[in-house]
Amino acid sequence: MERLVKQLGLADYEPVWRNMQAFTDARTADTADELWVVEHPPVYTLGLAGKPEHLLCQTDIPLVRTDRGGQVTYHGPGQLVVYLLIDFKRLGLGVRELVRRIENAIIAMLAECGIEAAGDVNAPGVYVQGEKIASLGLRIRNGAVYHGLSLNVDMDLAPFNWINPCGYQGLKVTRLKDLGVPLTVAEAAAHLLPHLARELDIQAQSQPA
């Protein structure tokens, strides 16, 4: 099934999140699925069951309490974010299988760049030698998926030091740049989207926001 890819550029987190909610609430059985590709200005987001104590110190970076799964994470310029607005019933997968397929798409993209990566059944995301390079956070509502994934491309990693990333104390994070892959966010998206399309059995058509 064809899905629309929307390029949102650099956009504030909260309006994009609210638009995802509105899109999900308004969709019908005939609504085409969409992938939203975006970068966010610096922001911490805390999941539904997120514990504030995982934010280790006060900073000027805003904190948004959101409705995805998971704990606290950081988004900032130089990080690729792909939101997956998918009809979950139509997809015909369980939640665990959906997570596995998203991880597999990222792992395949990294392999294409010469990087060996892996998932973790106990801690969703993608890791390179134990350091997290990609995070996942999803919400399923009214039979549809929203939120999605983030991949560290060429971003400032310092704000991760001020939280327990995804709720794990001492978890190290990494980025493509530090692994010798000098891609821009747009280039990383171009590499990743075909793998997402294959794993989710889609044909993606790009369109600017």
Contact residues for 61 (Cβ-Cβ < 8 A; gap 6+): 42, 43, 44, 74, 159, 162
Instruction: Please provide the distance, in angstroms rounded to a whole number, between the alpha carbons at the two ends of the chain.
Output: 20
Tokens (6 digits) for 159: 């704000």
Q: How many CB atoms lie within 10 A of CB 202?
A: 18
For residue 73, the model assigns a pLDDT of 92
Binding site feature residues: 68-75, 135-137, 148-150
- Annotated active-site residue 166? The verdict is yes
- In this structure, is the dihedral angle defined by the CA atoms of residues 126, 101, 106 and 61, taken in order, positive or negative? negative
Q: Residue type for 55, please?
A: L
Q: Which of 150, 141, 144 is nearest to 102 (CA)?
A: 150
pLDDT score at 3: 66
From the annotation, which residues make up the binding site for substrate? 68-75, 135-137, 148-150
pTM across the whole model: 0.92
Query: If DSSP codes are grouped into helix, strand and coil, which group holds residue 142?
Result: coil
Q: Which of 38, 166, 181, 196 is catalytic?
A: 166
Per-residue pLDDT 10s for the chain (209 aa) are 456 899 999 999 999 999 999 999 999 989 999 999 999 999 999 988 888 888 788 889 999 999 998 888 999 999 999 999 999 988 888 999 999 999 999 999 999 999 999 998 888 899 999 999 999 999 999 899 999 999 999 999 999 998 887 777 778 999 999 999 999 999 999 999 999 988 987 554 455 54
The pLDDT value given to residue 2: 54
Buried b / exposed e over 135-150, threshold 16 CB at 10 Å, is bbbbbbeeebbbbbbb
Give residue 208's pLDDT: 52
| Fold for the domain defined by 2-208 | BirA Bifunctional Protein; domain 2 (3.30.930)
Q: What is the residue extent of each domain of the chain? A: 2-208
Q: Quick one: DSSP state of residue 173?
A: B
